[in-house]
Structure 1
């Protein structure tokens, strides 16, 4: 690997790779859209085996992984069916009839009520019960446990009253609670993107088939999984390399930018190693298989991502933390109420009714909507700003960030070449040099050519017509324009032909990690052109804004130190870690976290995936690979580093709104629990369930209005 870094500037051919960067950027945007659509399409696909999914999904749910796109439709269906069943439950409830002053009682009506409520309890309440069980298994009670407790107590007690126990039933409370909680979960899931497929996306990078060679060099196509150590494979131009191996015949430029972050395609020849998943650009090569399956580079990245995701999924978001407290409060206040009423000499059934009322009231309906409505508003605001939030718990934490780590290639830079310097020989103008070079390069396909041609177009220079054109491997290109012989060649060619040029200037440009090519007119040196991976203008502004907020900016890159330092100087970044291998990126992020800092990582390639999954907040650039997007918590659709700043601001505002809403929801509890427990019973004041219902509706409405007031 390190040799390749050193070969960075060695020859023009080193960069010959179809200038796909532009198309790739576009392609990724397309991919990105399709990934997004895929999630929505996915939603419908799952809803038949819902009970099974429920369990699966909710296992995660307790962990704050609200990412199950395929469960959205399931919650939606459960909500509508439960809502339809709730209407007859409300009509049949004696408590509701008393409240509106009618008597619609008829024989056996309570059994019909019991049957309908049983259906809502099992059908609508099932996700909460299974979710509660898995939260308790993890010894981490949250929202699911709280809802599960309330509906279990309400259902159990109400069923007893149907079959002869003295007391009033809570079936209406049970049904409305389940409806609102289902609605809240549906809104929340719909607003947060679909399931995380990071690992599937990584696996997709590997081609399914390889061209295997036998002893006589005959090719047979075999599945990649069947390749063994020391097998021989052929890789044609434009194909992905199926396995890690060593070239034994042929040479080519290999684009490893997706995997290693090295911005320039690397010229490889016999004896060099290639990585599975990278793209062979120009020549056919034959490779001996070295590592397959678990040992391959990509498999190791997959393992790193999986480990990082598992360690991170333990974080709970704000509502779950609030629900955890309410769960303990519900249990404690319920039992305290029961004992005090019994101590005061009341009948067990009266004491039990108080206890049940307290436990059911502790799970406020408003809590079910407090967060989801804020999330829905915040997600739509963020989507308009080009931010896709995939992991809520980590997005909530973005307001506390101390450091933002940026990957260089593709994140701070565009991942495409542009002209940075033109050094003309005496008698030539800068624009002459660029016009001649661009006119010759317009037929070529590599990134350097694209960079020179685009720079000429940006300056509105008229390109000349080419009469002849040929590419000289390893040396550069040659053509005939307006009857003159024109060459654009590598430093190697100039050195071989002992031409005079400004050595100091050349050294200085190379030190900055720039690629330098020379223009010859009729075999005379006319000037040199330096190119580099272009820095995104928005990156400078982003770094400046982050510094104003007192946040450290750090750059991590697989590229060489000189290139990294040059980019960092242009952008104004403080700390630089260069030549970092992908598995080290995650370790570097861990080291920064060990300072006690909250760290965000911004990246775009496969090599960034483990670090994105390790950081407190992983931010992927939308123009990057699907893998990076799938391992991130937030995706910046516009690929604009400045959005990192907007993201932190929005996180702070969203969090404040959620805290306000949770106080509104819990505020109702703070008043209702003591009243329901009968604190004012001595003066004849007990919170009747009907009044409780009115208070509950009010707190729910306040929460909904407050959520709508969130502004970007």
Structure 2
């Protein structure tokens, strides 16, 4: 192994990064990890030390460090030696618009070791991934604080963090409401005395006759000053410093606009002589109403933001505060955080399951709809699993706690949804680019507007120029741009979770909406996953009962559904022990029973073993035509029997496929079954394209073929052998009743075992993306249309100009409109209702998550 890997020996050196690396077992591993790092764009030199399990990388000067860090993490992961990466979520206060989001992200991207930094304006949070040891939450929080925004690391808990966030948001809503109310009370007399006089001249004459014009303006000055110093102070304490730092935000626009109107009014009131003849005017009512309306808008924003996170809070609230545990032989109510794995708990009718567990005594039906989206209660008996948050409908159960705290399925769902809600979709890229330059551009337009009015408007033009400039500053709304995407994501993914569709990766929301074909695994996904042996054909010299006994003994070491079918076919006969069991993924099994070599599997498996299957040629053809699968049994190298194994399609499979067709989606099936059998099932369900006799390792290649033929592919599966296909597809959807390996490889988890979940996931994705595009259009169209109007482009031709007060109202409305539009997603109904099939005498736990 070379000591160093140098890509650009003459390039100036940049920063040095130390990366902790996992998975290295020898010097050869270190060499491979080193070469992976050295091949990453932007790396000048890389050294990996096997003893310290660290890599030291020198970057080329001028390299984008975040892109480099992300590239190195990806390269190490692909090489099989992942970097140790940590993640932290911050709750941030003080962000007022999308410009703030950009500044926080820019500050975090400049911090050492940061791989990824996403700031979400809709829930005031930041999610940061960084190399372990290169940074820590305290230093990252200090980076955010230095950028002008207070940050607190969010502690990991079983949903308590989101609960704390909700409490913080409620407090923010109360503060915003109080500020808006105070501003409204102080603004009302200013508005009435000034605008009332304009609208009703006798009212103006009456007021002036009683108080005099000077005292009225002085009272307006006092009230407006109170507004500036009290509820509206935040605009100035945040906006002015940001302006001086060269990083103006929404607060800066309001401070400049309202401040300019206020300052001009003060000069007009107390020193009118310094202004051109006839230019003295007071605009205290404009300054006061601007502050009041924007504070009202922020209160409405805060309320809407709180509603956007309602789905997460609803999930968290599924957990009871206490559980009844058996301690020292006595049933005692204990706080939830004191329940430990292994505790025996009691569950009464109508109570919620406190933690994940396994039933030890009793029988009941449990409503899991709030977790899985399935409408019918699920039968539970001894050995059945229970999900925290589900409701016991009748009967009493005793169950053993198997997962508590952050390890429960409910806590993992909350964490999964929170992660998806913090994602930044590709569709937001344009908005981000605009927001980076938006506020400075608005200030420039306001200055040009004032200059144009001063040059082209008739004298005295100063007052009109000021009004136009203030209107431009106030009408602009980067808030709506910043809220357009994240709010829809929050509400859409939260509603999806309530319907049993869990987006593990936020960007899957957009990718899923773009797919052209949905591919399904067959067994356990489109079918019930509970195959039955329909018929057994024995070769000459073999007894059916004996073959079934030996085959069942051999299959007893397998968890595959077909193995369970063989065991059921054998009945209750005593089974000898199998030795040397070996599962051949996607083909069959081998084992030794009572000294006899057993081989059980597909036609392909037997053909590759050199066995002639023509003895069962007629039966194989019949089985294929019926849509069943063929399972061959060989004993001591001789074909002994053929079994016809059929797995009934799930009740909702055909409806799900029809719904996909009506959505313009092609449907494919990828299976290891024989081509004739697979095509028979496909014909029954209305599937467009079949990839049959596909080995597990070839499923990814099948996805590539589908992509080449149809376009972007979604794949829905549930088994270990589906993991490569789930990873290869543009979007992988894992059936929640499947294996952990499949779920970890997926982008979306369907909490129930119903293919209808894939239909609902697609529908939710499309409708959420439509909502996002509506929001972005509104946010952009609003600014494109109204900023020129505020500047006065319609005044020369039509005599139309925009009052700063109307501008403030319109700006507040634009944000509220975007939020309200996003909140419509809370009412989304599933495209198809899921239907669960129960088999008589079958324990319900065989098909549950």
**For 1:639 and 1:464, how far apart are their aligned partners in 2?**
29
Indicate how the Cα distance of structure 1 residues 502 and 574 shifts in structure 2: closer, same or farther if over 3 A, else same: same
Q: Deviation string for 1:54-79 (max 9, x for gaps)?
A: 65599424899999685965586267
Indicate how the Cα distance of structure 1 residues 359 and 74 shifts in structure 2: closer, same or farther if over 3 A, else same: farther
Structure 2 residue aligned with 1:152: 252
Structure 2 residue aligned with 1:341: 453
Q: Deviation string for 1:420-470 (max 9, x for gaps)?
A: 652256999xxx95899479949974237964655786xxx894464x744
Q: CA contact under 8 A between 2:120 and 2:486: conserved in structure 1?
A: no
Does 2:541 match 1:471? Answer: no
Instruction: Provide structure 2 residue ranges, at least 5 long, that are not aligned to the other structure.
Output: 1-85, 110-115, 128-153, 155-160, 195-215, 268-282, 315-419, 582-589, 831-849
Structure 1 residue aligned with 2:681: 570
Q: CA contact under 8 A between 1:121 and 1:175: conserved in structure 2?
A: no
**For 1:400 and 1:410, how far apart are their aligned partners in 2?**
26
Equivalence map 1:272-311=2 (5 Å):
none
Indicate how the Cα distance of structure 1 residues 593 and 516 shifts in structure 2: closer, same or farther if over 3 A, else same: closer
Structure 2 residue aligned with 1:81: 172
Structure 2 residue aligned with 1:646: 760
**For 2:612 and 2:668, how far apart are their aligned partners in 1?**
41
Q: CA contact under 8 A between 2:516 and 2:712: conserved in structure 1?
A: yes
Indicate how the Cα distance of structure 1 residues 183 and 151 shifts in structure 2: closer, same or farther if over 3 A, else same: farther
Indicate how the Cα distance of structure 1 residues 623 and 610 shifts in structure 2: closer, same or farther if over 3 A, else same: same
Specify the SS of the correspondent of 1:646.
helix
Equivalence map 1:600-679=2 (5 Å):
600-604=714-718, 615-626=729-740, 629=743, 632-659=746-773, 672-679=786-793
**For 1:701 and 1:515, how far apart are their aligned partners in 2?**
62
Deviation, structure 1 residue 637: 1.4
1:419 maps to which of 533, 536, 539: 533
**For 2:661 and 2:126, how far apart are their aligned partners in 1?**
36
Structure 1 residue aligned with 2:190: 98
Q: RMSD in angstroms over aligned alpha carbons?
A: 6.4
Specify the SS of the correspondent of 2:426.
coil
**For 2:749 and 2:501, how far apart are their aligned partners in 1?**
6
**For 2:554 and 2:823, how far apart are their aligned partners in 1?**
57
Specify the SS of the correspondent of 1:316.
helix
Indicate how the Cα distance of structure 1 residues 50 and 629 shifts in structure 2: closer, same or farther if over 3 A, else same: farther
Indicate how the Cα distance of structure 1 residues 473 and 163 shifts in structure 2: closer, same or farther if over 3 A, else same: same
Does 2:518 match 1:404? Answer: yes
2:633 maps to which of 517, 526, 529: 517
**For 1:389 and 1:415, how far apart are their aligned partners in 2?**
24
Q: TM-score, normalised by structure 1?
A: 0.52
**For 1:528 and 1:125, how far apart are their aligned partners in 2?**
83
Q: Which has the higher helix share?
A: 1
1:447 maps to which of 524, 540, 558: 558
Indicate how the Cα distance of structure 1 residues 652 and 531 shifts in structure 2: closer, same or farther if over 3 A, else same: same
Specify the SS of the correspondent of 1:87.
helix
Specify the SS of the correspondent of 2:427.
coil
Q: Deviation string for 1:215-254 (max 9, x for gaps)?
A: xxxxxxxxxxxxxxxxxxxxxxxxxxxxxxxxxxxxxxxx
Q: CA contact under 8 A between 2:792 and 2:800: conserved in structure 1?
A: yes
Structure 2 residue aligned with 1:316: 427
**For 2:87 and 2:429, how far apart are their aligned partners in 1?**
26
Greater length-normalized contact order (CA 8 Å, ≥ 6 residues apart): 1
Q: CA contact under 8 A between 2:293 and 2:809: conserved in structure 1?
A: no
Indicate how the Cα distance of structure 1 residues 80 and 627 shifts in structure 2: closer, same or farther if over 3 A, else same: farther
**For 2:117 and 2:563, how far apart are their aligned partners in 1?**
54
Tell me the matched-pair count: 516
Indicate how the Cα distance of structure 1 residues 48 and 77 shifts in structure 2: closer, same or farther if over 3 A, else same: same
Deviation, structure 1 residue 315: 1.0
Q: Deviation string for 1:40-98 (max 9, x for gaps)?
A: xx999854999999655994248999996859655862673365156346524765542
Instruction: Provide structure 1 residue ranges, at least 5 long, that are not aligned to the other structure.
Output: 1-41, 137-144, 195-308, 480-485
Structure 2 residue aligned with 1:234: none
